[in-house]
């Protein structure tokens, strides 16, 4: 979509990322990487750029994030169109403004709504959540549109992402969510995510030669 040719083949990129993680000596953190058109003339077209470039950064995390409760607000920032939301890019101004809007209103972040007024964005925890169904902690797992009004009536609500893992939401605007305290499902999902990170299938885990 970005029309940037890869500077290396996929196997070489994989090797570079593993070597970067190894050279960092970081055993607890995150590896983030970006593809760029490379140095050029600062014009809109990439035709003035010599070669595409790959950047990789290892970010150390002193300790694993633990669930902590937060407040959210309904964001007034327009959501990105689906066409530009299918890939990670530097077009994060709407995300940053949503975060700032939340903080300005005494909250952790803002909740985006789509053009029809439904809660926007989601994370793929449905696979892990199926384990909670098997153990009787959830009655079922489905994916569908959720309105603001329905969301505020939830027994539990949580934010899920790579930067926060699981963050229970106890207040949305002026509405207290559930009991106003962290619920058991948030902690259970957090435990499942940690277990998946440590001992998930080999297809999603790569050994690093430190």
CATH domain 70-198 topology: D-amino Acid Aminotransferase; Chain A, domain 2 (3.20.10)
Which of 71, 80, 88, 137 is catalytic? The answer is 88
How much is the pLDDT for 151?
96
Q: Say yes or no to pLDDT of 43 above 80.
A: yes
pLDDT in tens, 101-140: 999 999 999 999 999 999 997 666 778 889 999 999 999 9
Q: Which residue has the tokens 């199926």?
A: 130
Once rounded to an integer, what is the mean pLDDT over residues 30-44? 93
| Known catalytic residue at 99 | no
The residues of the chain that CATH labels 3.20.10.10 are 70-198
pLDDT in tens, 62-75: 777 788 999 999 99
For the chain, first and last CA: distance in Å? 35
What gap in Å lies between CA 37 and CA 160, rounded to an integer?
Answer: 31
Least confident of 3-12, 86-95, 107-116, 186-195: 86-95
């Amino acid at each position: 979509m970005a029309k940037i040719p890869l500077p290396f083949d996929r196997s070489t990129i994989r090797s570079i990322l593993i070597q970067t993680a190894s050279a960092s000596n970081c055993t607890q953190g995150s590896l983030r990487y970006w593809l760029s058109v490379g140095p050029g003339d600062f014009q809109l077209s990439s035709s003035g750029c010599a070669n595409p470039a790959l950047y990789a950064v290892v970010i150390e995390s002193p300790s694993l994030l633990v669930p902590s409760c937060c407040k959210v607000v309904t964001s007034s920032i327009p959501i990105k169109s689906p066409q530009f939301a299918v890939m990670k890019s530097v077009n994060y101004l709407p995300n940053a403004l949503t975060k700032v809007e939340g903080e300005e209103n005494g909250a952790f972040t803002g909740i985006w709504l789509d053009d029809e007024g439904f809660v926007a964005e989601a994370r793929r925890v449905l696979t892990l959540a199926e384990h909670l169904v098997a153990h009787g902690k959830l009655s079922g797992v489905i994916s569908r549109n959720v309105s603001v009004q329905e969301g505020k009536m939830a027994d539990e609500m949580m934010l899920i992402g790579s930067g926060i893992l699981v963050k229970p939401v106890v207040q949305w605007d002026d509405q207290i969510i559930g009991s106003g305290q962290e619920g058991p499902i948030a902690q259970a999902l957090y435990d499942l995510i940690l277990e998946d990170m440590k001992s998930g299938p080999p297809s999603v885990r790569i050994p690093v030669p430190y």
